[in-house]
Amino acid sequence: MEGGPDGEASASMRYLSQRYSMPYKEVIATLTDIGTEELAHFEIIAAIVYQLTKNLSMEEIKASGFDKYYVDHTIGIYPQSAGGVPFNACEFQVKGDIITDLVEDMAAEQKARSTYDNLLRLCKDYPDVYEPLKFLREREIVHFQRFGEALRITQDKLDEKNFYAFNPSFDTKAPCLSDSKCNCNQN
């Protein structure tokens, strides 16, 4: 969870990396705030995993299927997906295109919410795990909404009829940027 493509480590690195190519300070602030919060979420998940595993006996480790992880990491916290794939930089995306990145961010928050939904179904009988996961799921919904607001800010600032036709951070000579009478929706 914490290290998969929909996990907290991916989200944090995605948002903190994307902020450098964002042209609008309000969007940069949103990415910084949420990226930093995702680091705190990583800490919450790591604490839960550690608390659940720190006192396991060798018999419990073997019976639970935790033995493969144990061989490589003992009970150390090592970010990986639920399927055991270690975290790497391929887990997050940065395009440098404000529209592409914000839509990716909204999708990432929805995927994380879905993952939390699945985790909550698995741990209903464990309130010490269930309640923090429920809180983290709620934050994914808030992040989705904040990225929607950032997308709206971007669209308003671009003030063009077709803002999907170019990358405003890079394509400074796009016809729609240089000609205020241009109707980019006409073919």
- Please name the residue that has the structure tokens 């006996």: 57
Helix runs in 19-57, H state only: 25-53
Sign of CA dihedral 164, 168, 171, 174: positive
The pLDDT-based confidence of 174 (bands split at 50, 70, 90) is: low
Structural domain contains residue 1 = no
Structural domain contains residue 185 = no
Range of the domain at 118: 8-178
**b/e per residue, 61-95, with b = 16+ CB within 10 A?**
beeeebeebbeeeebebebbbeeeeebeeebbbbe
Structural domain contains residue 53 = yes
C-alpha of 158 from chain center: 25
In total, how many domains does the chain have? 1
Structural domain contains residue 142 = yes
Measured CA to CA, the distance from residue 22 to residue 101 in angstroms comes to 9
Residue 80, SS3 per DSSP: strand
Length of the chain: 187
Closest CA to 169 of 32, 2, 23, 1: 23
> Of the given ranges (1-5, 69-73, 97-101), which has the lowest mean pLDDT?
1-5
- The whole-number pLDDT of residue 176 equals 57
Structural domain contains residue 2 = no
Looking at residue 87, what DSSP letter applies?
P
The pLDDT-based confidence of 184 (bands split at 50, 70, 90) is: very low
Q: Is the pLDDT of residue 126 over 90?
A: yes
CATH classification at residue 131 = 1.20.1260.10
State pTM to two decimals: 0.81
Structural domain contains residue 110 = yes
Structural domain contains residue 184 = no
Structural domain contains residue 186 = no
